[in-house]
């Protein structure tokens, strides 16, 4: 080290040399062990994050994602049960069930499914042509009444369940679904529990286009119970044909010994098949606003003055004793 004037310069040079040495040492550490330590730390953190994410996907949220995956490759189809048959006292069927299809398609802007009812021929034609992505068919049944005018007020009709009824506890407990038909009026409503039956389910595997590949499982449906009524279809038809056209009134035929009702006819009548096959809003309004009130059952809802039923007894007695003649009764 130099003394004198050069002493301060010597100190400055020495200080710079020490700083350069420290900087070189720092750079050497960064280029060597320091960089390796930081890289190892980053890799450790990344591995931990990936491990945790894998654990969350497979264990924590695994069930949810498994259900979502199964939902994309499987569909649960409802196997709708046909309603039970309504029979007359002789065992003659009064109704029949006709196959139809429900076209199930996703609702626009919603996560639920929409139902479009189709007739049998349309459903089969659509199956042949192919369905759009996300669409599939469910087999269903519609009701056809074989004596529509003669027994309309006795049998009633079926109608599609509405949203208010679906939210009702009675229907929700019994697992009614949107699009199901329930009895309205008459025997269809009174024997709803017996006639309805139990729907089944079918789990199917589908491809990306929604085409069914195979059946994975099936819970068969159970048809509704058949119900035999006391009415006689032939007698009801005779009562309808014998009733004067254009007149309002009712005919009731009963069996006095048992109290059974053999026929009920209310005029004017209507066809319950109109409700099964589908009524437009205009047709429905025209029906319920008809001044002749065809939906009104005059046999049980009308108010009529009592008749002189005892005259029948005296007339029969007079005929048997010969005091009156048959033509005299007809004239009176």
The verdict on residue 195 lying in a domain is: yes
Q: How far apart are CA 328 and CA 290, in angstroms?
A: 41
Are residue 200 and residue 242 in the same domain, yes or no? no
Are residue 44 and residue 126 in the same domain, yes or no? no
Domain tally for the chain? Answer: 3
Active site residue 28: no
The verdict on residue 182 lying in a domain is: yes
Are residue 93 and residue 199 in the same domain, yes or no? yes
Q: How far apart are CA 249 and CA 241, in angstroms?
A: 14
pLDDT tens for 98-138 read 888 877 776 655 445 566 666 555 655 665 556 666 677 77
Query: Are 87 and 229 within 8 A, CB to CB?
Result: yes
Query: Are 233 and 221 within 8 A, CB to CB?
Result: no
pLDDT tens for 305-318 read 767 777 778 888 88
State mean pLDDT over 158-168: 87
Are residue 197 and residue 307 in the same domain, yes or no? no
DSSP bridge pairs for 160: 181
pLDDT at 276: 83
Q: How far apart are CA 200 and CA 24, in angstroms?
A: 82
The verdict on residue 10 lying in a domain is: yes
Are residue 219 and residue 260 in the same domain, yes or no? no
The verdict on residue 174 lying in a domain is: yes
Are residue 175 and residue 245 in the same domain, yes or no? no
In the chain, what is the greatest distance between 2 CA atoms, to the nearest angstrom? 174
pLDDT above 70 (res 17): no
Instruction: Say which of 112, 167, 280, 308 is annotated catalytic.
Output: 308
Q: Note if the pTM is more than 0.95.
A: no
How far, rounded to the nearest angstrom, does the alpha carbon of residue 171 sit from its chain's CA centroid? 12
pLDDT top residue among 143 and 27: 143
pLDDT at 99: 86
Q: Count CB-CB contacts under 10 A for residue 207.
A: 10
Are residue 9 and residue 148 in the same domain, yes or no? no
The verdict on residue 113 lying in a domain is: yes
Q: How far apart are CA 262 and CA 239, in angstroms?
A: 11
pLDDT at 133: 66
The verdict on residue 55 lying in a domain is: no
Are residue 204 and residue 133 in the same domain, yes or no? yes
Does 268 sit behind a cis peptide bond, omega within 30 degrees of 0 on the bond before it?
Answer: yes
The verdict on residue 318 lying in a domain is: yes
pLDDT above 90 (res 169): no
The CATH code of the domain that includes 193 is 3.90.1310.10
pLDDT grade for 230, boundaries at 50, 70 and 90 = very high
Are residue 135 and residue 274 in the same domain, yes or no? no
Averaged pLDDT of the chain: 79
Are residue 88 and residue 166 in the same domain, yes or no? yes
The size of the chain, in residues, is: 332
pLDDT grade for 203, boundaries at 50, 70 and 90 = confident
Q: Among 91-95, 118-122, 189-193, 263-267, where is mean pLDDT lowest?
A: 118-122
Are residue 266 and residue 238 in the same domain, yes or no? yes
Q: Which domain holds residue 15?
A: 1-49
Are residue 217 and residue 254 in the same domain, yes or no? no
- CA–CA distances in Å: residue 273 to residues 36, 107, 145, 289: 85, 29, 6, 19
The verdict on residue 130 lying in a domain is: yes
pLDDT above 50 (res 12): yes
């Amino acid at each position: 080290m130099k003394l004198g004037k050069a002493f301060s310069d010597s100190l400055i040079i020495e200080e710079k040399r020490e700083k350069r040495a420290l900087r070189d040492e720092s750079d050497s550490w960064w280029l060597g062990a320091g960089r390796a330590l930081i890289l190892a730390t980053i890799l450790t953190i990344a591995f931990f994050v990936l491990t945790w994410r894998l654990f969350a996907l497979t264990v924590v949220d695994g069930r949810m994602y498994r259900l979502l995956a199964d939902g994309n490759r499987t569909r649960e189809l409802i196997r709708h049960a046909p309603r039970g048959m309504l029979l007359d006292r002789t065992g003659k069927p009064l109704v029949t069930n006709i196959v139809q299809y429900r076209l199930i398609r996703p609702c626009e802007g919603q996560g639920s499914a929409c139902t479009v009812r189709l007739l049998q021929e349309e459903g089969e034609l659509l199956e042949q042509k192919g369905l759009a992505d996300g669409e599939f068919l469910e087999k269903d049944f519609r009701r056809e009444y074989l004596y529509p005018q003669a027994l309309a007020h006795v049998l009633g009709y079926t109608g599609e369940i509405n949203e208010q009824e679906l939210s009702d506890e009675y229907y929700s407990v019994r697992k009614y679904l949107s699009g199901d038909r329930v009895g309205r009026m008459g025997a269809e409503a009174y024997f709803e529990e017996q006639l309805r039956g139990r729907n089944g389910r079918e789990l199917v595997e589908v491809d990306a286009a929604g085409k069914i590949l195979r059946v994975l499982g099936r819970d068969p449906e159970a048809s509704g119970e058949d119900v035999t009524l006391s009415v006689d279809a032939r007698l009801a038809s005779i009562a309808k044909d014998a009733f004067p056209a254009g007149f309002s009134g009712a005919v009731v035929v009963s069996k006095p010994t048992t109290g059974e009702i053999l026929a009920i006819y209310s005029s004017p009548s209507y066809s319950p098949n109109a409700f099964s096959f589908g009524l437009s809003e205009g047709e429905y309004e025209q029906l319920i606003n008809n001044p002749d009130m065809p939906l009104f059952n005059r046999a049980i809802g009308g108010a009529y003055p009592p008749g002189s039923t005892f005259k029948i007894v005296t007339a029969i007695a007079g005929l048997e004793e010969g005091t009156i003649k048959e033509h005299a009764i007809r004239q009176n």
